[in-house]
Amino acid sequence: MGYKNLLIVVDREGIAVITLNRPESLNALNMETMDELDKALTECEKNVTVKALILTGSGKAFVAGADITQFNALSPEQAKEFARRGQEIFNKVENFPHPVVGAINGFALGGGCELALSCDFLYASTYAKLGQPEVNLGIICGWGGTQRLVRHVGLPKARELLYSGEMIDAHEAYRIGLVNKVCDPQKLLDEVKAKLKLILSRGPLAVSRTKKIVNDTFKESLEKGLHNEQEGFSSLFGTEDKKEGVNAFLEKRPANFQGK
């Protein structure tokens, strides 16, 4: 099928590159793009020639985040469904039967960082910037960030990043174990493909079984944690702070939170 917001290329080794392609909005994830990503994952899983996935972005961003213009219209009930749907799609990334590597070419913030965290591992361009800035909007992560970031970098560092909403560069992300390698921007995809070609030379059943067992290590607690994240995310959509945070972002001004 054709895609409006994605580009998909499968090479002769069976590596599918899915590129988020809304560069005018820094590849922000609106629901149309999320639905396309869901369909692309299904298409790639059914395609017997696909042996691995690379997720990346066009232009200056991997994914700059969820499309904040959607947020003002969401009630708490709608926000819960928004969180559930995003978690469902990112779980699909995490549970894809073959290796999935994120090639973080630029900004990976908010929902973009959460998408990256759903990959098996990450290579980052020197231009990459990562973070979970949701608290700047008066909300929290809704697509798995509170759960997966802890698993990637450990509890104290995850707390620091989640509480502060600060953005970190590629070298700091490497230092704390969030990304596996920092690459020259021009060589990023080549570096990822080289690693995947090595992985694909190993026993494919063994690699897939290893992935499933590793993922299952955290599955029960992850499901409970994701439920708690949905509840926390949606509850904040009834607050004045959420309205102020989102409006301040859209109006490009500092937020004046009142704790209400």
Positions marked catalytic: 114, 134
Sheet holding 181-183, edge to edge: 6-10, 15-20, 52-57, 100-104, 121-125, 181-183
Please state at what angle helix 155-164 crosses helix 145-153, rounded to 10 degrees.
140
φ/ψ region of 259 (left if φ > 0, alpha if ψ in -120 to 50, else beta) reads left
State how far the Cα of 227 lies from the Cα of 26, in Å rounded to an integer: 29
Backbone angles phi, psi at 96, to 5 degrees: -55, 135
CB atoms within 10 A of CB 39: 14
From 236, 211, 178, select the one nearest 62 (Cα to Cα). Answer: 178
Smallest Cα–Cα separation from 83: which of 32, 140, 28?
140
Query: Computed over its alpha carbons, how large is the radius of gyration of the chain?
Result: 18
For the chain, the helix, strand and coil percentages under 3-state DSSP, each to the nearest 5? 55, 15, 30
Q: What is the Cα–Cα distance from 128 to 56, expressed in whole angstroms?
A: 11
Distance, in Å, from the CA atom of 54 to the CA atom of 120, rounded to the nearest integer, reads: 10
Torsion angles phi and psi, residue 125, rounded to 5: -70, 155
